[in-house]
Chain A
Amino acid sequence: EIVLTQSPATLSLSPGERATLSCRASQSVRGYLAWYQQKPGQAPRLLIYDVSDRATGIPARFSGSGSGTDFSLTISSLEPEDFAVYYCQQRYSWPLTFGGGTKVEIK
């Protein structure tokens, strides 16, 4: 099973600041990595797939990068609605796995 480790667990930032979230895989997942956003009481929403492709309707301030085992999600300038929990997920091998999540909170 591929283990995804996200860091930091919590990121405290102010609106307008840049957020960089990390996801490290226990083995290569090639380009098969996605990022999801989850707000309290809501279902997760797909943000980024295949490392760097934005899903439909996702603003350009969200971007993904990385390869192999190290990936990152960047929010260029935090909007109030971006404070949420973010999960990475790999689809390279079974079972499909998620990282433990990074909470982006208002400082």
Chain B
Amino acid sequence: QVQLVESGGGVVQPGRSLRLSCAASGFSFSNNAMHWVRQPPGKGLEWVAIIWSDGSKKYYTDSVKGRFTISRDNSENTLYLQMDSLRVEDTAVYHCARGVAVTGNPNFFDPWGQGTLVTVSS
């Protein structure tokens, strides 16, 4: 079955870096756009970034532009999120999700991984 498993979360000090990974299985990873979506503890959902299936296009939410980089390795069926200059407000569970759509940009999310918790604290 389709499965997404995130890893790489942890506790990090403000200003430091962290790299998240998302291992995909059960579907043709190289043919699908992928997203990161985050959820601060006890709060709602916030879309973070998308990468097209071939890596040719990437978009970010404004609050992470210039600090976060989304990338992928289609030979390893793995999605990444490099997070630099981390801030306290980046504290959240980070989910990876496959992008889907019948027409247009693949910007609905199905399925989602369970997520990995990133805590930014001094």
- The residues of A with any CB-CB pair to B shorter than 8 Å are 32, 34, 36, 42-46, 49-50, 53, 55, 87, 89, 91, 94-101
| Chief secondary structure at chain A's binding surface | loop
Q: Which of A32, A55, A87 contacts B45 (CB 8 A)?
A: A87
Q: Are B95 and A43 in contact (CB under 8 A)?
A: yes
Q: A94-B59, A100-B44 are in contact. Are A43 and B113 (CB under 8 A)?
A: yes
Question: Which parts of B63-122 form the interface with A (CB within 8 Å)?
Answer: 95, 100-102, 104-105, 107-115
Asked whether B46 is an interface residue with its Cβ less than 8 Å from the other chain, the reply is yes
Contacts of B102 in A (CB 8 A): 49-50, 53
Contact with A along B23-35 (1 / 0, CB 8 A): 0000000000001
Q: Are A89 and B108 in contact (CB under 8 A)?
A: yes
Q: Are A46 and B61 in contact (CB under 8 A)?
A: no
Q: Are A43 and B115 in contact (CB under 8 A)?
A: yes
Q: Which of B44, B101, B113 contacts A101 (CB 8 A)?
A: B44
Q: Are A98 and B110 in contact (CB under 8 A)?
A: no
Contacts of A53 in B (CB 8 A): 102
